[in-house]
């Protein structure tokens, strides 16, 4: 079976602001077509008071440099204020891309970040 654009799930970026910990869920095929959503999410997060941010990768089917750039840019912004990005629940494919590019994810993420 050939995979076509109709079969592959389009990438989505969703921000939620439960309690004090913002969460960004990436799903589907995260590539350059997702860039406008990354720009909107970054602007929304950068406009709020600095805090740690959880990036949930559980629904990612493909992860390009666009997704990595978003995480790096957000981490740089938050790092200036003593905060950070927590990458959680990467799919096997996302974990491979993260590992190949030197990104890491932690097992010591606070419980609030995992809910």
Task: List the CATH number of the domain containing 87.
Answer: 3.30.750.24
* Within a domain: 30: yes
Angle in degrees, CA 52, 53, 57, rounded to 5 = 145
What does pTM read for this prediction?
0.84
| Number of other residues whose CB lies within 10 A of the CB of residue 30 | 29
Cβ 95 vs Cβ 67: under 8 Å: no
Cβ 57 vs Cβ 87: under 8 Å: yes
Which residue range is the domain that position 25 belongs to?
A: 12-114
* Within a domain: 86: yes
pLDDT tens digits, one per residue of 71-99: 999 999 999 999 989 999 999 999 999 99
State how far the Cα of 7 lies from the Cα of 98, in Å rounded to an integer.
24
| Number of other residues whose CB lies within 10 A of the CB of residue 71 | 21
Number of domains comprising the chain: 1
pLDDT over threshold 50, residue 1: no
């Amino acid at each position: 079976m050939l995979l076509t654009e109709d079969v592959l799930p389009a990438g989505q970026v969703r921000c939620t602001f439960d309690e004090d910990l913002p969460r960004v869920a990436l799903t589907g095929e995260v590539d350059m077509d997702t860039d406008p959503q990354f720009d909107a999410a970054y602007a929304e997060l950068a406009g709020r008071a600095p805090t740690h941010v959880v990036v949930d990768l559980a629904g990612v089917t493909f992860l390009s440099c666009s997704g990595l750039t978003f995480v790096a840019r957000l981490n740089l912004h938050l790092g200036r204020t003593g905060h950070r990005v927590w990458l959680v629940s990467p799919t096997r494919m996302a974990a491979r891309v993260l590992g190949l590019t030197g990104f890491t994810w932690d097992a010591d993420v606070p419980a609030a970040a995992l809910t």
